[in-house]
Amino acid sequence: MTLTGQCRCGAVRYSIDPAGKPIVYACHCQNCQRWSGSAFGLHLLLPETAMSITGALDEYRHEHEGKRSCQFLCACCHTRIFNTTEAAPGMRVLRAGTLEEAAELSPAAHIWTRRKHAWLNLPADVPSWPESPSPEEFGRVVMGG
């Protein structure tokens, strides 16, 4: 199943082949709240090789809790498209809201729920963690791995 997306202005376009059902998760940490200007960030984790991109990207690097993260944004409108992080080598964290199919996807997990806004009620049947789970735990619980 191939999914497509773009930035707000359309200068950056991409397609992904997630090799199975896409795993979308919501992150409620303060960084995601500030980056998105909303209550949480909606992300899709995928291997670097599963994404092809056209258009110019700017890169913003920063360190958080001892891990380096690189944010990739449209060079024109500065929509954040994805990031990479030392916490998940070989993977990209796609901003799921940039997907054409975003409305068809729902979070399979919630992380950093200790920062969740009090008015937001999470489904009881969806896995959640008060902070970030290890990649192994996330995979085991969410992806059955």
Interval 90-125: pLDDT, tens: 889 999 999 998 888 889 999 999 999 999 999 999
Q: Which two tokens stand for residue 44?
A: 């899709």
Q: What is the predicted pLDDT for the residue at 37?
A: 86
The DSSP letter of residue 71 is: E
CATH code, 18: 2.170.150.70
The encoded tokens of residue 30 equal: 């303060």
Residue 131 scores a pLDDT above 70: yes
20-69 confidence digits (pLDDT tens):
777 899 999 988 888 888 999 999 988 889 999 999 999 999 887 777 88
* Residue 36 pLDDT: 84
pLDDT of residue 78 exceeding 90, the answer is yes
**pLDDT confidence of residue 145:** 57
Q: What pLDDT score does 104 carry?
A: 86
The number of folded domains in the chain is 1
Are the CB atoms for 76 and 7 separated by under 8 Å? yes
**In which domain, by residue range, is 57 found?**
3-142
Show Cβ contacts of residue 27 under 8 Å, excluding neighbours closer than 6 positions. Answer: 40, 41, 43, 110, 111, 112
